[in-house]
Amino acid sequence: MSPPNFTSPKAVIQAGGITLPEVYEWHGKANPHFNLFCYHDGQVLHGVPYSDVVQRMRGVAQYVLSFAGPAAPAKTIGILANTLIILMNRDEDTITYALTILGILRAGHTAFPISLRNSTSAVAQLLQQTSCRHVLVSQDDSTRTLARDATMNMSHTVQHPLLVLDEMRSSSTGSCSTELPQLFETSGTAIILHSSGSTNHPKPISWTHQSLVSWGTVPWYGDVDTAEATIGCHGITMSHAFGVSMCAHAAAVGWTLAVFPPSSSPVLPTSENVFEGTVATNVDYLMTVPVFIEQWASDSRKVGRMKRMKGIVFGGAPLHQGVGDSLASKGIALYSTYGSTEVGSVANLFTANPGMDWPYFSVTPWLRSIEQEFGDGMFEIVVLSSPDHPLSVVNTKVGNTDAYATGDLVEPHPTKPGLWKVFGRKDDQIVLSNGEKTNPLPLEGIINEDPHVRSSMLFGHGKFQNGVLINPLDAVSHDDRLALTEYRDRIWPSIERANAIAPQHSRIFKEMILVATPDKPFTYNLKGYPRRKTLEKLYSEEIDELYAEIESSAQSDIPSPSTWDAESIRHFLRAVVESTLHQPLDDEEDFFRHGCDSLQATWIRNTIFRALHHAHFSAAQRLPMDIVYEASSIATLTRALVSAIHERADVTGASTPTVLSDLAEQYLLALPRRPGPSELVERRTDAKIVLVTGTTGGFGADLLEHLLLDDSVETVYALNRKGTSAVERQTTRFHHRGLQVSLMASPRLKMVEGDLSSRGLGLPAQTLDEIKRSTTHILHNAWRVNFKLALASFETELAGLRNLIEVALSSPYTVPPKLQFVSSIGVFRDYRLSGPIQEEPAPPFAALGTGYSESKWIAEEILCKIAEREGVPVSVVRLGQLCGDRKGHWNESEWFPAMVKSSLHVGCLPDITTDAAFVPSYLAARAMVEMLNTSSRILHLLHPRPVSSRTLMESMAEALGVHIVAYSDWLSALEKIALVDGAVKELDIKLRKNPALILLDVFRTRTFDGTFSTQKAVGASQELARLPPLGPEDGRRWVSAWRSSGFL
């Protein structure tokens, strides 16, 4: 749709001394009606001409100058926005983001686009390293939270709202007394990009104005003139170097960039909408990722449309050889691009006829480079600095010339000199077929710690998942399958330790363990590392057979649905699940309640993914890797697959406020009514008879002791799950927590074994009738604690609550037993409003995010409604963070003890700036028992006198001999602890010695905000009312207890 009379800026750029914003200003005069962007809004094709681009660029520049002032010197302006990142949840539109970058440059300042994939500590480090004092932030909640947390300890860094497109015109951005700069220093820094941080925190990389403009000229060196071409950029991330380069290429060459339409609710890129956008904008060349091409290749209509394009450019991951060959044989021009943030484009774009040599590229004449021999027929590309292209990053020298060794290995074309194909990273990163990368060294280091392992080597390049080749300490016979199975089981704990610190896509499943044979011994290089390429060739047959076996085993001879409608999917899933679990299940039954373990969940997932890959590849991409955990019944899994196939946003059936409310109402409707008044009698005793659940757990044991010590309690029924002797389990727990074991012989205690989820609590009729006729209080503490499981997996807990309510409703007395439920402040996990949270019902949206918190909210809602409807006395007690048993010892797997133990490895403790409202478990249990007497509906059992977290941390730091640092610095140290110069640090990677490593994801996302009112709780408990504030002595007591137990 661009007019043909485009005037090229080539002569102006070749003359030198011009910057990218000046090139855009030039276009505003020379090509005012030429479209830089185009998009289709579903009705009409629109263009954004340079005249409009320049006006909006100036508007952003005026906005930047209004808070940053003139560029003397230039200031770094960070950009934190939901940028267009493939397969992320929400994205900022490309046009808005590109114009923001251009506007910052036009103001004479330095732009620094930052990816939202970075952790809080990584963003903080990037801002600190670049002395960034101003950050433009898109106004969605997740980005604002990231910006707030990253700048928490940066008093000089100021956040500003990112302008939306309609606010960018210079006439609407407000007055600014500072004139836009007219002169630019070409050697000054124009933009800062950052590395991907695949093995560590990302590093900032500066590009000068001269280099940025030069980078834009790369397409000039291709064999094809692409001036006035429409380039499909749907789905390109603008915070990445590739996205930034599009702005430079378009201005230098005369491209029109086809993108998604600007929107306040930006489009999530999928293979379908990217292709639809490509067709609607009639692109000449398409920039995309291999996984999309592989999906399109199975659709003849899409293949036909691709044949009409001039070319498809891909990068970031290998394209499946078979797919590429098939498309190339049909005349589709495929271009393999390659480059890096440190040096820019390396591959020469748009060769005349790539043909069947599509995997190969030639190095662009834009830069000077050499290929240094690496061995095994591989070469490393080394880029040389030059006056026209001075390098941003230098890490080596070639002679006296500064150079950058890319660390990338390439293979030469067997017959055509000058053509190269990317093999992989010199540091042996594994690139899976979906583009995800695995650094094998840290994982191999952990596996190699196993006493039964001599060495190990991960593999999986170009495959869907990783595997590991193990060189056993003692040979294992491959003729004895039982011996092989036993060996895999023996080393599995070490694999699990490696999986605990690995990204989800890098984790290894038990079926992907390959054991080496004595007739094919491991060979090692001079550094003592296995020779990867040699071993991959040596074991190529076994590796291929393993993947083939997984493929066939995952299918389990179960045919895929011929038509993917809901009923066919349901029959398919039932066959898969029942074949895996070896038992029939109803559609609504939870897999994990019927013995499904993680390995079986993997088989179910693999079978589903294999079937979808053949029929609906894009649907497989939309399903999360842990889909079986999130949709853990045949019914919910069916709905998830149907949603994925039809591209619905809610693939996993994630909970919504309506879902929670509706589920609570369903339970309420299924509950019986109370007997009529004529059927009820008055209770003849004031003594308390308490039915308590979950007493063999830590807090439950504390509850039981206080109930038995309470003179007003006549009898305690302690209901626990069936299994080994409940008395034996309870006695053991009392002993471990320093409780009075002699109380187990009390005649007032009746240990009862049953099943809460079964009607009648799984008790004999006589026992159940006895409980119904005597119980005055039901204290419900038993609840599964697992933050990974989806809401559906807590059906058993909700069924248990329902059955306890039925016991209360069936009471023959005019006043039924009081139901007291141990809930959690976690029902406010997604609550964002300011001010103390009151002891009142929580809105359903506050609990969203984990099945645990959602199930607790539903339980609260059911209880509050049943109290209103049937007059059952109810108290919901939301429990906060408990801080240890009577001995001061905490559960080692909890976040706070793990944080403290980390100090032994990182030499510091974090400074948590908010207050701590921790309550000692034993005293909290006494308060909970006292609350049996209250009529308050909802109470918060937290410390009523919070103290500064720093007070506690300082005392523990002193006792441990470490110092306090900013939370972001502590987290950064923890994240780095497994790696030293790319190798594994042997002592610190052992998760049994540093459990904080297991909780890295928790620490990355954990917030310490939120205050809670405890007024009603204090009124209901004398123990809570007189609870002294925590102090330094408590911190020292915890350290002492952990040392006594051997934890520290």
Asked if residue 809 and residue 940 are part of one domain, the reply reads: no
Asked if residue 573 and residue 702 are part of one domain, the reply reads: no
pLDDT recorded at residue 660: 92
pLDDT recorded at residue 91: 41
Name residues whose C-beta falls within 8 Å of residue 127's C-beta, 6 or more positions apart in sequence. 78, 135, 150, 151, 154, 157
Asked if residue 380 and residue 453 are part of one domain, the reply reads: no
Asked if residue 197 and residue 129 are part of one domain, the reply reads: yes
Average per-residue pLDDT for the chain: 85
| Position with higher pLDDT, 832 vs 745 | 745
User: What mean pLDDT comes out for the span 314-342?
Assistant: 89
**Least confident among 24-28, 137-141, 167-171:** 167-171
Quick one: which of 672, 866, 690 has its CA closest to 781? 690
Whether omega before 73 lies within 30 degrees of 0, making that bond cis, reads yes
Asked if residue 560 and residue 674 are part of one domain, the reply reads: no
Asked if residue 560 and residue 549 are part of one domain, the reply reads: no
Report whether pLDDT(529) > 70: no
DSSP secondary structure letters along 115-172: -TTS-HHHHHHHHHHTT--EEEE-SSHHHHHHHHHHTTT-TT-EEEEPPPGGG-SGGG
Asked if residue 236 and residue 90 are part of one domain, the reply reads: yes
Question: 10 Å Cβ neighbour count for 195?
Answer: 17
Asked if residue 561 and residue 545 are part of one domain, the reply reads: no
Could you tell me the CA-to-CA distances from 133 to 68, 74, 108, 117, 208 in Å, in that order? Answer: 9, 11, 15, 21, 20
Domain containing 802 — which CATH number? 3.40.50.720
**Backbone torsions φ then ψ of 681, nearest 5 degrees:** -130, 165
Residue 161 lies inside a defined structural domain of this protein = yes
Report whether pLDDT(88) > 60: no
Asked if residue 223 and residue 92 are part of one domain, the reply reads: yes
% the chain with pLDDT above 70: 90
Report whether pLDDT(176) > 60: no
User: What mean pLDDT comes out for the span 985-991?
Assistant: 39
pLDDT recorded at residue 777: 97
Tell me the C-alpha distance between 86 and 104, whole Å: 25
Number of H helices, E strands in the chain: 35, 38
* Per-residue b or e along 988-1008, where b marks 16 or more CB atoms closer than 10 Å to that residue's CB: bbbbeebbbbebbeebeeeee
User: What mean pLDDT comes out for the span 737-755?
Assistant: 91
Question: 10 Å Cβ neighbour count for 308?
Answer: 10
Asked if residue 934 and residue 844 are part of one domain, the reply reads: no
Q: Which of 505, 537, 553 is the last residue of a domain?
A: 553
Residue 482 lies inside a defined structural domain of this protein = yes
What is the three-class DSSP state of 595? coil
384 strand-pairing partners: 368, 403
Alpha carbon 286 to chain centroid, angstroms: 29
Q: Identify residue 649 by its one-letter amino acid code.
A: A
Report whether pLDDT(980) > 50: no
Report whether pLDDT(85) > 80: no
Domain containing 172 — which CATH number? 3.40.50.12780
**Least confident among 320-329, 793-802, 888-897:** 888-897
Tell me the C-alpha distance between 199 and 367, whole Å: 27
- pLDDT band for 985, please (50, 70, 90 cuts): very low
User: What mean pLDDT comes out for the span 883-891?
Assistant: 77
Taking only the tens place, the pLDDT of each residue in 206-244 is 999 999 999 999 999 999 999 999 999 997 888 788 889
pLDDT recorded at residue 487: 93
Q: Which of 623, 654, 685 is the last residue of a domain?
A: 654
**Least confident among 172-181, 283-292, 478-487:** 172-181
**Backbone torsions φ then ψ of 192, nearest 5 degrees:** -115, 125
User: What mean pLDDT comes out for the span 563-580?
Assistant: 89
Asked if residue 122 and residue 55 are part of one domain, the reply reads: yes
Tell me the C-alpha distance between 641 and 574, whole Å: 13
pLDDT recorded at residue 269: 79
How many Cα atoms within 13 Å fall on the side-chain side of residue 696?
A: 18
Tell me the C-alpha distance between 7 and 682, whole Å: 96
Taking only the tens place, the pLDDT of each residue in 37-74 is 999 998 999 999 999 999 999 999 999 999 988 877 77
Quick one: which of 957, 921, 953 has its CA closest to 1031? 953
Edge-first strand order for the sheet with 513-515 is 453-459, 467-472, 513-515
Report whether pLDDT(82) > 70: no
User: What mean pLDDT comes out for the span 295-300?
Assistant: 91
Could you tell me the CA-to-CA distances from 866 to 579, 760, 828, 844 in Å, in that order? Answer: 41, 19, 22, 17
Domain count, the chain: 6
Residue 639 lies inside a defined structural domain of this protein = yes
Residue 154 lies inside a defined structural domain of this protein = yes
Asked if residue 545 and residue 561 are part of one domain, the reply reads: no
Report whether pLDDT(556) > 70: no
- pLDDT band for 170, please (50, 70, 90 cuts): low
Report whether pLDDT(942) > 60: yes
Tell me the C-alpha distance between 332 and 353, whole Å: 10
256-258/110-114 β-pairing: unpaired
User: What mean pLDDT comes out for the span 892-914?
Assistant: 86
Quick one: which of 355, 327, 253 has its CA closest to 6? 253
pTM of the model: 0.48
Question: 10 Å Cβ neighbour count for 687?
Answer: 12
* Per-residue b or e along 828-853, where b marks 16 or more CB atoms closer than 10 Å to that residue's CB: bbbbeeeeebebeebbbbbbbebbbb
Q: Which of 624, 654, 684 is the last residue of a domain?
A: 654
Residue 359 lies inside a defined structural domain of this protein = no
Tell me the C-alpha distance between 113 and 419, whole Å: 33
Report whether pLDDT(83) > 50: no
What is the domain range of residue 132?
Answer: 10-288
DSSP category for residue 403? E
Question: 10 Å Cβ neighbour count for 951?
Answer: 16
Residue 948 lies inside a defined structural domain of this protein = yes
874-879/467-472 β-pairing: unpaired
pLDDT recorded at residue 579: 82
Residue 310 lies inside a defined structural domain of this protein = no
pLDDT recorded at residue 199: 41
pLDDT recorded at residue 177: 58
775-778-783 Cα angle (round to 5):
145
Tell me the C-alpha distance between 574 and 635, whole Å: 9
Report whether pLDDT(910) > 50: yes
pLDDT recorded at residue 941: 97
Tell me the C-alpha distance between 799 and 386, whole Å: 72
Can you read off the two tokens belonging to residue 3?
A: 């007019």
Report whether pLDDT(603) > 80: no
| Position with higher pLDDT, 174 vs 290 | 290
Residue 382 lies inside a defined structural domain of this protein = yes
Tell me the C-alpha distance between 718 and 701, whole Å: 10
pLDDT recorded at residue 283: 96
